Structure 1
Amino acid sequence: MLEAKGLSFGYDKKPILKDISFSASRGQVISLIGPNGSGKSTLLRCLCGLLPTGKETVRILDKPLGRYSSRELSRVIAFLPQMQERVSSISVYELVGMGRAPYHRSGWFLDGEDHRKIRWAIGYMGLDSLVNRPIDMLSGGERQRAWIAMVLAQDTPIILLDEPVTYMDLKFQWDLLTVLRDLRNSFQKTVISVFHDINHALEISDRVYLLKDGRIHSTGTSDQVITERSILEVFDIGTHVCRFKKCRRPVVVPCG
């Protein structure tokens, strides 16, 4: 579905990513974790073509990234950055409708299929009661859900999310994890997401990439990658990976 080999990137001769190998299959949720500055967000931007890589370095659906037009690419991969552009004077419906832009050559005329995708995305993200509300009158968490709905309306097989639970309270954080799980299980979407909270990665991941200093420190299942030793090596903090009878997943707790 998506593959990178020997991916390196830097700014002004300062290396950020170093010889990254990465792969994602259809219907997987993949988490990128690591300290601030380890290259997680940069990797997402390289995988979707926002930052330049070698022409054959990244392949999507077995086609080199460089051979896609921007319109073609936006129909197969969607990206939601950590910080979105400030928008005002548009409603939730209009923002979500922007996700249909790749399917129109000019203008903003929406056909019946567009409206169906928009309404589905709004309902899926629990925004029905806010559909006509201006974006700039929403709380931070509500705005984040609206932006995610826009990405879902884009209807791509691959979705990249950079810290998607930003601004969300505890309930909506875990609601979103349920959404990502359902996108995988019900729609066979491939979701690649940066998570700041290691416990979110433990909860949802089919595969985890742990980054340190622009390199892949380790990759595998969450149980293989998220260990007390690896967290100490990468984050420089002692933790306990706890297993409780009432929890179906381990929980990472910093040492007191």
Structure 2
Amino acid sequence: MDVVPAADCPSIDCSAVPSIVLPLESTTGIKWHSHPQHQLAWAPDGVLVMAVDDCRWVVQRSRALWMPGGVPHSVTPSSPCAMLSLYFEPDECPLDWSRPTVVDATGLVGPLLTHLAGLPKPRTAQRDRANAVLWDLLSPLAVTTIPTVLPTDPQARKVAMGIRDNPADKRGLPEWGHEVGASARTLSRRFREQTGSSFERWRTLERLNAALPLLGAGAPITRVAREVGYHTASAFIAAFRREVGTTPAAYFGA
């Protein structure tokens, strides 16, 4: 899903809906939007990818994502699942996290999120008590994101979106250049100038990003490597460790 400028994102007021469970299909998502309220999003079954600017976070059973109010974001499910969201008014929330923050959803947090989602929608003393417990339990996780900036040049952007749609595509710049009507040298220069990375490294980062939802769903490393364009699991693990600083298994605490 392409990034949409903040000025073009609708703002959705969720003040009347402190919690919601929204079924999502793998072929649909939630387009770029924001809301004045803080959001805590969780996927008790399945995997979601939430994007802000050029960064993407994986949300699944063991991880929820804190989204500050007013931050434009999109949601893309990698499989049919339900997104559980809680919304909090900023002036009533003791947390001061101004950036998207991954939090641990294991232990008591997951059941508490489920409990809050099942409470009556109007604010009640019961909800306030449960929220107070939640504030004490929420624990940020140190998670490395893998930003990939999209080039602004139309021809280079077409290449980038083609790789984003199919990260296993093995075509090099000469083949892509033939398709989009630009020389390999021109595309190489535009990737470096507009993304800060060579085409080869940009493709590696995009492949690793594409791997995260699969890893979050518990897919075997060999299958993940193959689906994002690596011939062997060892080559995928080496690239992941080089760019992220840890192994795929350690990234999700396996």
TM-score (norm 1): 0.26
If you compute each CA radius of gyration, which structure gives the higher value, 1 or 2?
A: 2
Structure possessing the higher relative contact order (Cα contacts under 8 Å, 6 or more residues apart): 1
TM-score (norm 2): 0.26
Name the one with the larger strand percent.
Answer: 1
